[in-house]
Amino acid sequence: MTPTLYLLVAAMMPAADPAPITAREALKPFNLFVGKWKGTGVPDGPGGSKAKEFWTETVEWTWQFKGDDAWLTAAFDKNPKYKSAELRYLRDKKLFAMEFVHADGGKSRYQGDLTAGKGKEQILTLERTDDDTKTTERFVFTLLHHNRYLYRLDAKPAGAASFTRQYQVGVTKDAESFANVPQGPECIVSGGAGTSRVVHNGKTYYVCCSGCRDAFKDDPEKFIKEYEAKQKKDADKKK
């Protein structure tokens, strides 16, 4: 094959996909979720007017790990609709998936992607279609600030032209000032804000939640090696 023909054939071949991102890497934008939060939910009444009823809730997000897999869990308290949820990354689809456990024990699963908003916020939009009613539900998280986010549920019945908001919840970090920007240490496991200490071979490291603490204790050398490699890479970039 002549060099010219070789180059022509190579140019026509599809480019190889980059190495698939790990679940832990894909979920890093949601590090801000980790911790305890307080939320106020407001449902939308008929015709789009706000109903008088509202609720207050608390939710705690935690990292979970099993082998090379990683995901985030949310435990709701006083939420009238949900008991818990899991947020995962689907590597084969390059999408995020979230499964909710309802207050009555039922489950619902949504899939979607993370996109940039008009400002600095990031927006996670997840959808599902009910098999029986054919209603499409859209669950939207808007990541506004390191200690504030919104989530809402929209619905579009079969045959409807547009979505209608069902409710929205404004959530703020528990016992933390809105203006307070974290400047402390980094979690050695997730890369989020380190809030508690762990010690290995006499050296102190930081983790952000009980899930990261347990993962570190199970395999400290793995996370120390990754952390030191990241620090070296960051230092090389500054040179």
Query: Domains of the chain: which residue ranges?
Result: 23-173, 196-238
Provide the pLDDT for residue 149: 95
Q: What is the pLDDT of residue 232?
A: 80
Q: What is the pLDDT of residue 130?
A: 93
Return all residues near 34 (Cβ < 8 A) that are at least 6 apart: 61, 62, 63, 72, 190, 192, 193, 208, 209
Q: Tokens representing 223?
A: 């996370």
Q: Render each residue's pLDDT in the chain as its tens digit; 239 residues.
A: 554 544 444 444 444 445 558 999 999 999 999 999 999 999 885 544 455 678 999 999 999 999 889 999 999 999 999 999 999 999 999 999 999 999 999 999 999 999 998 888 899 999 999 999 999 999 999 999 888 999 999 999 999 999 999 999 999 998 655 455 556 789 999 998 888 999 999 999 999 999 999 999 999 999 999 888 888 877 776 66
Fold of 23-173: Lipocalin (2.40.128)
Please answer whether residues 84 and 76 qualify as being in contact, where contact means their C-beta atoms are separated by less than 8 angstroms: yes
Enter the tokens of residue 57: 């809730």
Query: E strands along the chain, which residues?
Result: 35-43, 55-66, 69-77, 82-90, 95-102, 107-116, 122-129, 136-145, 148-156, 164-173, 196-200, 203-207
pLDDT in tens, 19-51: 558 999 999 999 999 999 999 999 885 544 455
pLDDT attached to residue 175? 67
What pLDDT is stored for residue 87 in this prediction?
98
pLDDT given for residue 17 in this prediction: 47
Considering all CA atoms of the chain, what is the largest pairwise distance in Å, rounded to the nearest integer? Answer: 76
As a whole number of angstroms, the distance between CA 187 and CA 174 comes to 19
| Cβ–Cβ under 8 Å, residues 203 and 65 | no
Reduce the DSSP state of residue 108 to 3 states and report it: strand
According to the model, what pLDDT value does residue 222 have? 92
What's the pTM? 0.81
